[in-house]
Amino acid sequence: MEPLRPSNTAAFTAMLRAAHQIVDSAPRILDDPVSVGLVEDATHERIAAQRAALLSPQLMIPRAAVVLRSRYAEDLLAKAVAALPVPSTIVMSFMLPDADLSESEASAARTVADEAAKKGEPWLTRLRPIEFATRLSSLGFKEVVHLSPEEANDRYFAGRRDGLQAVHVAQMMSATN
């Protein structure tokens, strides 16, 4: 990451959120009109010009992971605000090791990880859900919840006709102290 410059992965995330608004079919997992135009690569024109690439598995997989992470975090935040006072809750996405993935998901993960590393933002850790949950519990979090891809599909992606779905490679975990 370059000093005084925005994070490349944050800009990529913003573009993927905007792409969800423009290229994915209804229902949207995440309603985020602000993301369109937020960064240079997230304009309606740039996304429309990349439509075919954005609908490929190489970009559909990270887009599904990004919109799921954002929606899951928003849902938990809404619950926390409604139930004040509350303990602290963190929401994280994490990537599974290649050995736990299908070849297409492992390939997509390697591509994204290689690009992030080239831009100075390497992925340092990839964990299995049980390893991550155990680590969070050992740090003092009392409630650790793993949102599996199956549960995420039932909760957020049900009824979609465009193929966008929760992916196995990027999963969600929340932890409350």
**Three-state SS for 144?**
strand
Domain boundaries, given as residue ranges, for the chain: 57-176
Residue 141 exposure: Cα atoms within 13 Å on the Cβ side: 18
Which pLDDT score, from 0 to 100, does residue 120 have? 87
How confident is the model over 73-78, as a mean pLDDT?
A: 86
Which pLDDT score, from 0 to 100, does residue 53 have? 94
Taking only the tens place, the pLDDT of each residue in 126-171 is: 999 999 999 999 988 899 999 999 999 999 999 999 999 998 999 9
**Using an 8 Å Cβ cutoff, are 42 and 22 in contact?**
no
Taking only the tens place, the pLDDT of each residue in 41-58 is: 999 999 999 999 999 988
C-alpha radius of gyration, the chain, whole number: 17
Which pLDDT score, from 0 to 100, does residue 48 have? 94
Residue 84, pLDDT > 60, answer: no
Confidence (pTM): 0.69
